[in-house]
Chain A
């Protein structure tokens, strides 16, 4: 039973209707966004279906300008009455905001979509809807079963799941831009729990996700990896406080390098609240570091039968949250900070054009968001990187909120595997890793060749010198 589209409202018409009403009510400029989404999720635990969820929702957001004043409203009420309140509420709010010389919609010349629009970007596959629920549940059951069958030390589980989601978004504004796109998502995961003879438990997970069911990985393969990831932490211990090389696994390297995007956001820069302030054109990392954000990537997947099946990345869209075409922006090139990332407002504050990185929720002013964000891979394998470390930490988990983008101070709870003589020797936990990001980016001594997009950002294995590990 495929999920049906909620109601029969034409989203494009609705967006333009809301826009028109705002202008007639006195707005000097306006922008409307209409969003419709459907979701299905199933969770199987210890072989039994535990949760099934299926629903659709929709909402409309409006941003209005009265000269240089701006305000916004959002609602899930699509009745005529609801739309009236949406419009009058936005205008009432705009009257109490301040005139801001930098506020306003983008200039008309900036609007547009990437060539071919969302069609060319391969963001939507309707097989995500067509897959019968029984088949989705079966995949959730298989991925969990594979994890449970892997080793006798795995007897418990948080379950296996299979989720799908589709969304349809329309953006229109009073300067003549109207665009829309649909996106699809499907994914499954297993979260097994391993337990040792002393009763200590370690949970972990692994997953596969894609825009189409045709590109999902084998459930048994994913279940086995999830099991291995839980098992390898059994018997973890603390290590003494010391300074050693730290090897970041790709999942953790992703968050470490992700801070480069956050620190380069125009919002932090114009406030003088970033460790990258005044660093444009300066060295912020070693020669081996090139960091790119690209909202246009389409990956050339190939199926087992040889057919080619291109699909857009999870960070791909034809236009950004303000209707500007997405693009490729190099943030750091061979260690030199080349670009900040901006939306229209933060660009104006800095006197530069928007980089097409506006993100827009239903309400509020646009923020800044990444497209597909990655670090260019190096030439060594992850195995070679680990083999190069005589004594150090391979970090597989970090926890906490100890990243300060103003100062660069970095202190996170960590777990992983200790490296002895180039080999993964034993698991460690209840430790912290700390340093300063400004030093960490300069002290990356090896960059792996293992760049794989599993979400909207990807970073290969990294080796960092001179971090402090606090433990026993």
Chain B
């Protein structure tokens, strides 16, 4: 673990005029009608979006958002209000509104704040938000050129660069006093390929909590451009995807979205506390083959899903969800931890100061096994080899999930034979991973493109997986 990070609080104290005394006063107001816990969440986000389209810089926009959310917890109840005006009287009014959830004698605050020590998993000075706009523009212009140069059948190219710098300060009635500065950048390339008879799309992208020089390494604009172009060209000649239950091999990296949908969401503590998840009550039980170990890890340097502290000021950690097939634990925030008699796993996240914290994933991945990827493919008589995906979705309660392949091939007699069109794969969360019969030794994390939606709130996440084989899964094509 890295040494304690810089003090990110100064921004709020020096620039926005938020004092410890004001925070104590607001927390006092928030608990004036009782309740066990209150917190203040100050947030300031600056975001930039640049886009090259048809070879022209068509998009350049910048946004600034500042505000504070006040939350009061009383038993299973949550009172919440926010303000985009940080004047003391507005903050106090928001605190009084949030306080309406409780009805009892005022609760006394803990004496004083205790600053949370957190690691430095990502750059602050030198984040992409400090770089010149012209430098970012060069990146997407390079991507645009590289995609066009890939093949004359690439007819449309859109390249974009989006980044933000998010500063947060959390002050809570339990003494929590934490802050963080979170950079996030993503470069994306989307292309259309056309050969006169058919048309196809392809896209690629990546990034993380990184400095601009990240894009000068192997994850260059040219890398993403070629990937997008290659995918589109491949789709031009793709056959119908097969339909029905078959053996499925998933490639390393982004196909880990399977874990995010099939098990990750089902293990978020809010659903389990309320017994609305298909995984409720399954701790200690076999929910996957013994070759499967899945973790959620918010402490990986520079990763899109990583956080020094979560949005409740709790340092993130590595949480084992499934160990050798056995369900080990849930992802908790402060509220679900208190109600379930455990500690927060550092999984409390929110989209912005305007939203309420929930247990969420960070970077979710399966650990490597012992099989060589080529042996896994060789073992398949007839099946699907899916190496890239669009997105996925899950019904937490029934456990049914889907994820949509964007690059897939047929496997026939152990050989990868021809590309097939995208198809949706479906399964049942608590069952699907029991059919994992081989796990590759090639764990990879995704390129840094994931955004997870839950109850209308989007947060950046990562996923990862080695090559794996599922003995059966339903593939939703139209072919034979």
A96 CA to B56 CA, complexed, in Å:
11
Tell me if A73 and B62 are in contact (CB < 8 A). Answer: yes
Assess whether B64 is interfacial by the CB under 8 Å rule.
Answer: yes
Assess whether B437 is interfacial by the CB under 8 Å rule.
Answer: no
Given A73-B62, A365-B58, A472 contacting B245 (CB threshold 8 A): yes
Tell me if A411 and B62 are in contact (CB < 8 A). Answer: no
A193 interface neighbour in B397, B402, B423, B474, Cβ under 8 Å: B397
Tell me if B476 and A411 are in contact (CB < 8 A). Answer: yes
A342 CA to B137 CA, complexed, in Å:
28
Contacts between chains A and B (CB distance < 8 A), count? 249
Q: A residues 35-94 with Cβ under 8 Å of B?
A: 45, 48-55, 57-59, 70-77, 82, 85-86, 89-90, 92-94
Tell me if A51 and B77 are in contact (CB < 8 A). Answer: yes
A97 CA to B51 CA, complexed, in Å:
9
Q: How big is chain A's contact interface, by range?
A: 35 or more
Tell me if A74 and B404 are in contact (CB < 8 A). Answer: no
Given A52-B79, A401-B404, A404-B422, A271 contacting B243 (CB threshold 8 A): no
Assess whether B259 is interfacial by the CB under 8 Å rule.
Answer: no
As a 0/1 sequence over residues 443 to 472 of chain A, the CB contacts with chain B under 8 angstroms (1 = contact) are 000000000000000000000000011111
Assess whether B106 is interfacial by the CB under 8 Å rule.
Answer: no
- Closest CB-CB distance, A133 to chain B, in whole Å? 8
A411 CA to B404 CA, complexed, in Å:
8
Assess whether A415 is interfacial by the CB under 8 Å rule.
Answer: yes
Q: A residues 375-412 with Cβ under 8 Å of B?
A: 397, 399-402, 404, 406-407, 409, 411-412
Given A193-B397, A406-B200, A472 contacting B392 (CB threshold 8 A): no
Tell me if B57 and A74 are in contact (CB < 8 A). Answer: no
Q: Which of B78, B83, B356, B424 has the most CB of A within 10 A?
A: B424
A94 CA to B421 CA, complexed, in Å:
40
Tell me if B63 and A73 are in contact (CB < 8 A). Answer: yes
Tell me if B402 and A364 are in contact (CB < 8 A). Answer: no
Tell me if A415 and B422 are in contact (CB < 8 A). Answer: no
As a 0/1 sequence over residues 390 to 414 of chain B, the CB contacts with chain A under 8 angstroms (1 = contact) are 1111111110111110000000000
Tell me if B76 and A399 are in contact (CB < 8 A). Answer: no
Contacts of A233 in B (CB 8 A): 398
Assess whether B155 is interfacial by the CB under 8 Å rule.
Answer: yes
Tell me if A53 and B81 are in contact (CB < 8 A). Answer: yes
Interface size on B, residues (CB 8 A): 75
Q: Which of B34-42, B174-182, B274-282, B373-381 contacts A (4 or more CB under 8 A)?
A: B274-282
Q: B residues 414-430 with Cβ under 8 Å of A?
A: 421-424, 426-428
Assess whether B133 is interfacial by the CB under 8 Å rule.
Answer: yes
Assess whether A152 is interfacial by the CB under 8 Å rule.
Answer: no
Tell me if A53 and B426 are in contact (CB < 8 A). Answer: no
Assess whether B111 is interfacial by the CB under 8 Å rule.
Answer: no
Assess whether B354 is interfacial by the CB under 8 Å rule.
Answer: yes
Q: Which of B94-102, B298-306, B460-468 contacts A (4 or more CB under 8 A)?
A: B94-102
Assess whether A359 is interfacial by the CB under 8 Å rule.
Answer: no
A430 CA to B245 CA, complexed, in Å:
11
B424 interface neighbour in A52, A364, A432, Cβ under 8 Å: A432
Assess whether B59 is interfacial by the CB under 8 Å rule.
Answer: yes
A50 CA to B79 CA, complexed, in Å:
8
A94 CA to B58 CA, complexed, in Å:
10
Tell me if A413 and B243 are in contact (CB < 8 A). Answer: no
Tell me if A156 and B354 are in contact (CB < 8 A). Answer: no
As a 0/1 sequence over residues 247 to 274 of chain A, the CB contacts with chain B under 8 angstroms (1 = contact) are 0000000000000000000000001110
Contacts of B194 in A (CB 8 A): 272
Given A271-B192, A406-B192, A72 contacting B199 (CB threshold 8 A): no
As a 0/1 sequence over residues 9 to 48 of chain B, the CB contacts with chain A under 8 angstroms (1 = contact) are 0000000000000000000000000000000000000000
Tell me if B62 and A238 are in contact (CB < 8 A). Answer: no
Contacts of A241 in B (CB 8 A): 243-245
Assess whether A201 is interfacial by the CB under 8 Å rule.
Answer: yes
Tell me if B276 and A193 are in contact (CB < 8 A). Answer: yes
Assess whether A98 is interfacial by the CB under 8 Å rule.
Answer: yes
Tell me if A97 and B243 are in contact (CB < 8 A). Answer: no
A193 CA to B426 CA, complexed, in Å:
22
As a 0/1 sequence over residues 336 to 363 of chain A, the CB contacts with chain B under 8 angstroms (1 = contact) are 0000000000000000000000000011
Contacts of B192 in A (CB 8 A): 271-273, 406
Would you list 30 pairs from A and B whose C-beta atoms are within 8 A, ordered by A residue? A50-B78, A52-B101, A54-B97, A71-B61, A73-B62, A74-B64, A93-B62, A96-B134, A96-B137, A98-B56, A100-B56, A200-B398, A203-B395, A236-B398, A241-B243, A241-B245, A272-B194, A364-B49, A364-B61, A400-B402, A402-B423, A406-B192, A407-B421, A409-B421, A411-B424, A411-B478, A430-B474, A431-B426, A431-B474, A470-B245
In the complex, besides A50-B78, A51-B77, A158-B397, 8 extra interface pairs with C-beta distance below 8 angstroms are A76-B65, A97-B56, A193-B276, A201-B276, A365-B59, A399-B426, A415-B398, A472-B245
